[in-house]
Structure 1
């Protein structure tokens, strides 16, 4: 049985990864800030699927939290075969409306933690000649839309670059870029979602199924829905100045309020 470590495992896409991987027979290391929810999740997945579910309480907005998870990923006696870097959050408000401390916290979770955890996992995986890393980004990475989109663009570029550098090592890396997914993400950020059209919403379990299929195919980028693939294809050929204006206008109309 292989072992997968999932950050931000107790809700949304992270919880969907935990359910799917447990049902496939993988042992899990569940990482989140809420010790109580982690314990409940681990018990449920163990009882339902008969897998081992280890819990690791860590806040990836702190050095201590990142170091604790990195140490677990570096433990070659209890190897992690698949890392899902899913932890993340959004800040409510336009640029300069958001406190700098909150912007820096986002960058620490979305960029520094992803860099350090990917590096810890990949080093151990390369030594064994096998393993996989999924870094959860967003379709926001492909449009000019604030600090959140910029941080996710970094995740995409970093992941694809490292995937190329480690080609042939047995270690696969992939950036996962979903659109709007029905999770706790927006509620936690205090963002309303009533103005987002129904067709833009994705199901977390379907996102995970598509992501794992793409990882198995060796893809370094996964946009797990035909609708968003089409939208991102249009975004790729749209002039940046025009795209910026469209993104800003669309964000005000359909973005979380």
Structure 2
């Protein structure tokens, strides 16, 4: 049984216009949460907010914000305060990846990736955690990735960003255990979202079997509802087994294996039946 009174929560979700963020919004609205939906696409946000208000009778506030801006966290905190909202839950879901050899990547795109994937969740957590701690209640879910558990050749910055999110979140979990605020990292594996479209290639998930965004959200909310949530949770039995297995081999072997798995030429050979599975 859930230990959280969802009907008393106002949850801010970044990257809420699609994928895992939109699934979080629908699942939480069905539980009675009021929502603050944050993304860059106004039309999608407004449509989702209207859908959820009509279906569940909750309040859904749409805020357009580019999380790559250094002032994004402060602007969002100011906006919700001005609107008279008290955020009791924060889901740092927004993020994107790039795929290809590091040498040759656009430095401006990499800087944006770091801003959205690393700086935004840190600064948003810093902005909203003090109010939760003062009330001695609330939760923060930071969306990491199974890429956090291994080197990720051809997605070096993305993997490192998610490893950062995992590490900082697990540290916050330990710091805040007695505060009344729940903090944990959620690590999806390959998920059927717009991620590959944004990256620009299906090679980003190396042909892995996809979970759904609803699967990922169900894992997260089950963890949140557990009696004593741990610092992190990985979605999917196969993903959990994979992360555990990689801890049993050397970093050298892991990096070499991942370099092979993310090789587009290898995936092309598998697609045409010229190479069997690893």
Q: TM-score category by the smaller chain?
A: over 0.9
- Correspondences of 1:8-19 after superposition (within 5 Å): 8-19=15-26
What's 2:210 paired with?
Answer: 201
Report how far residue 63 of structure 1 moved: 2.2
* SS of structure 1 residue aligned to 2:72: helix
Match of 2:89 among 82, 90, 95: 82
TM-score by length of 1: 0.93
Q: Whole-Å Cα distance in 2 between the matches of residues 46 and 82 of structure 1?
A: 18
- Correspondences of 1:22-41 after superposition (within 5 Å): 22-41=29-48
What's 2:163 paired with?
Answer: 153
Report how far residue 118 of structure 1 moved: 0.8
Q: Whole-Å Cα distance in 1 between the matches of residues 190 and 158 of structure 2?
A: 14
Structure 2: which 5+ runs fail to align? 1-7, 269-278
What's 1:210 paired with?
Answer: 219
Q: Whole-Å Cα distance in 1 between the matches of residues 16 and 230 of structure 2?
A: 23
TM-score by length of 2: 0.87
Report how far residue 71 of structure 1 moved: 2.9
Q: Tell me if 1:138 matches 2:145.
A: yes
Match of 1:164 among 171, 174, 177: 174
Match of 2:122 among 112, 115, 121: 115
Report how far residue 169 of structure 1 moved: 0.3
Q: How many residues align?
A: 254
What's 2:262 paired with?
Answer: 251
Report how far residue 76 of structure 1 moved: 10
What's 2:110 paired with?
Answer: 103
What's 1:173 paired with?
Answer: 183
Match of 1:126 among 104, 129, 133: 133
* SS of structure 1 residue aligned to 2:188: coil
What's 1:226 paired with?
Answer: 237
Report how far residue 74 of structure 1 moved: 6.2
Q: Whole-Å Cα distance in 1 between the matches of residues 102 and 204 of structure 2?
A: 22
Report how far residue 120 of structure 1 moved: 1.3
8 A contact 1:176–1:223 mirrored in 2: yes
Structure 1: which 5+ runs fail to align? none
Q: Tell me if 1:187 matches 2:188.
A: no
